[in-house]
């Protein structure tokens, strides 16, 4: 059984080539047995499941077709598509995962997370993150008309760019103490996340036990997929 993991595709109507590469990956998976995990920021922006747009509808349909062939599909919210919800997952034939989520893979305890919760040095962002996960705030945002939601999403992106330009490289990365804490709390061997767009495999020792942190890359200039089967895992990067 093969498990594929990807995150940070940032699908956007303005960049159809990324969507094409993603749809190509889905087509290649037909006939395989296994599961696909999309660990957040599948979309560059998500206004709500009631406003998927043509791109959201295309992606939901493609995921649904793949799910119908027997591949299990799991979605996690990222920071860009934090408003993604159950309706989209239903349309896509996918299950919505909590963040974080623990999985057992070939005897390893693997903790899946988008990764933004680990960037604890960015306090302002963590306050915003908590706010956008508050059920009342979400309900209020999702009840706004489309134009207002679009305007808010645009402001959020501009604000995020301005905010990030003031932060150092270190502050925008995961905090080592936060990484150790989640590995310890979950009693996990592996932490698998995206968000930072810094793909790699890192070894670390927590409480005398060797652990691994795997970081998925973004799809800005090509695909980044972690493939995990009986032989182990490989982080595969495919240029476009």
Residues of this chain that bind Mn ion (CB under 5 A): 41, 78-79, 195
Length of the chain: 240
Q: Whose Cβ is closer to Mn ion: residue 66's or residue 226's?
A: 226
Q: Whose Cβ is closer to Mn ion: residue 3's or residue 195's?
A: 195
Q: Whose Cβ is closer to Mn ion: residue 49's or residue 81's?
A: 81
CA atoms within 13 A on the CB side of 162: 6
Q: To the nearest whole angstrom, how small is the minimum distance from the Cβ of residue 224 to Mn ion?
A: 13
Can you tell me which residue has the tokens 């087509």?
Answer: 27
From edge to edge, which strands make up the β-sheet containing 209-215?
Answer: 101-105, 108-112, 190-193, 209-215, 200-206
d(CA 59, CA 39): 15
Q: Which residues contact 8 (CB under 8 A, 6 or more apart)?
A: 40, 41, 78, 194, 195, 197, 216, 217, 218, 219, 224
Q: Name the residue whose CB lies closest to Mn ion.
A: 195
Q: Whose Cβ is closer to Mn ion: residue 71's or residue 191's?
A: 191
Two structure tokens written together for 93: 């034939």
Q: To the nearest whole angstrom, how small is the minimum distance from the Cβ of residue 216 to Mn ion?
A: 10
Q: Whose Cβ is closer to Mn ion: residue 81's or residue 189's?
A: 81
- Asked if 11 and 42 count as a contact pair (C-beta separation under 8 A), the reply is yes
Q: To the nearest whole angstrom, how small is the minimum distance from the Cβ of residue 122 to Mn ion?
A: 12
Q: To the nearest whole angstrom, how small is the minimum distance from the Cβ of residue 196 to Mn ion?
A: 8
Q: To the nearest whole angstrom, how small is the minimum distance from the Cβ of residue 158 to Mn ion?
A: 16
């Amino acid at each position: 059984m093969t498990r594929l993991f990807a995150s940070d595709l940032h699908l956007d109507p303005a960049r159809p080539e990324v969507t094409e590469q993603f749809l190509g990956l889905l087509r290649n998976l037909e006939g395989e047995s296994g599961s696909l995990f999309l660990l957040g920021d599948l979309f560059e922006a998500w206004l709500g499941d009631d406003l998927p747009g043509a791109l959201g509808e295309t992606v939901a349909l493609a995921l649904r077709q793949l799910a119908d062939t027997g591949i299990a599909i799991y979605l996690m919210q990222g920071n860009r598509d934090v408003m993604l919800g159950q309706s989209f997952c239903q349309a896509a034939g996918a299950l919505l995962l909590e963040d974080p989520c623990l999985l057992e893979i070939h005897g390893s305890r693997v903790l899946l997370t988008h990764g933004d919760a680990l960037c604890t040095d960015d306090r302002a962002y963590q306050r915003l993150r908590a706010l956008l996960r508050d059920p009342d705030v979400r309900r209020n945002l999702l009840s706004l008309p489309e134009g207002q939601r679009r305007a808010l999403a645009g402001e959020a992106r501009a604000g995020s760019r301005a905010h990030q330009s003031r932060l150092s490289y270190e502050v925008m990365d995961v905090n080592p103490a936060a990484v150790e804490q989640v590995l310890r709390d979950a009693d996990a061997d592996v932490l698998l996340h995206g968000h930072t767009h810094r793909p790699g495999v890192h070894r670390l020792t927590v409480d005398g036990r060797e652990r691994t942190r795997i970081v998925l890359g973004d799809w800005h200039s090509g695909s980044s997929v972690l493939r995990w089967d009986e032989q182990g895992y490989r982080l595969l990067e495919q240029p476009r």
